Structure 1
Amino acid sequence: MAPTSVERTLGILLAKVEGIEKSIAAGDQHRAIVHRRVDDLVEQVGEISTEVATMKADVIDSKKITDEVKQWKQRGIGALFVSGVAGTALGGAVVGFIVSWWDSILRVLRSA
């Protein structure tokens, strides 16, 4: 017996419904994959956020140390300047004393 027009239409509709069901199932699988990837990204971003917070703390500690070393350097340069001025003054005084001492000796020798 040949299928009637109604049976043929029902067959076509049934095939289309099965195709829609397969499409919905494929969409569900795709959405599940997307959700899993998004969950993975959220986890990775959380880990990166934790690492950045740790790095910020390290950078703050490093900055404190760097600032302290800069202060030491400035103090050292100041100390060298003061030492240079004091050394120059002391050297000048010593040279002045020696010149005056030699003048006295030469005067005594010339007068003799």
Structure 2
Amino acid sequence: MSQTGVERTLGILLAKVEGIEKSIALADTQRATVHRRLDEMVSEVGDLRAEVATMKADVKDSKTITDEVKQWKQRGIGALFVSGIAGSAFGAAAVGFVIYWWESVLRVLRSA
């Protein structure tokens, strides 16, 4: 091989090595970008976990309050039922009282 052939081959090899170095540098840059984005995602997932934990606690508290309100509603319906029965019984007794004493009431009213 002549000197120009050797120089030409060395030039080709040098260009290929420089191309490989550029590819490695570009890959390093891309890997750094991927790692940075992955770190951002890990941070966001951590934030989401904290938010979900907070929401779970809030929902648990809301469920407790909702259960208490349901109990109050059931007690209120029960109280209304008892009041309705008592009112009906009182009304029936009042009507019975008026019917039983009606003649006496009329007699007192007529004599007055």
| Length-normalised TM-score, structure 1 | 0.89
| Alignment correspondent of 1:66 | 66
**1:33 is aligned to 2:33:** yes
Deviation of 1:103 (Å): 3.3
**1:18 is aligned to 2:18:** yes
Residue 99 of structure 1 aligns to which amino acid in structure 2?
A: I
**Identity over aligned residues, as a percent?**
73
Q: List gaps (5 residues or longer) in structure 2.
A: none
Q: How does 1:1-112 map to 2 (within 5 A)?
A: 4-105=4-105
Q: List gaps (5 residues or longer) in structure 1.
A: none
CA distance in 2 between partners of 1:29 and 1:74 (Å)? 66
Q: Runs of 4 or more off by more than 3 Å in structure 1?
A: 103-108
Deviation of 1:63 (Å): 0.5
Residue 62 of structure 1 aligns to which amino acid in structure 2?
A: S
Deviation of 1:102 (Å): 0.7
Residue 42 of structure 2 aligns to which amino acid in structure 1?
A: V
CA distance in 2 between partners of 1:18 and 1:107 (Å)? 129
Deviation of 1:39 (Å): 0.4
Deviation of 1:41 (Å): 0.3
CA distance in 1 between partners of 2:23 and 2:105 (Å)? 119
Residue 14 of structure 1 aligns to which amino acid in structure 2?
A: L
CA distance in 1 between partners of 2:58 and 2:11 (Å)? 70
CA distance in 2 between partners of 1:77 and 1:36 (Å)? 61
Deviation of 1:81 (Å): 0.6
Deviation of 1:6 (Å): 1.0
Number of aligned residue pairs: give it.
108
Question: Root-mean-square deviation (CA), in Å?
Answer: 1.9
| Length-normalised TM-score, structure 2 | 0.89
Residue 67 of structure 2 aligns to which amino acid in structure 1?
A: D
Distance 1:105 1:58, change over 3 A: closer
Residue 75 of structure 1 aligns to which amino acid in structure 2?
A: R
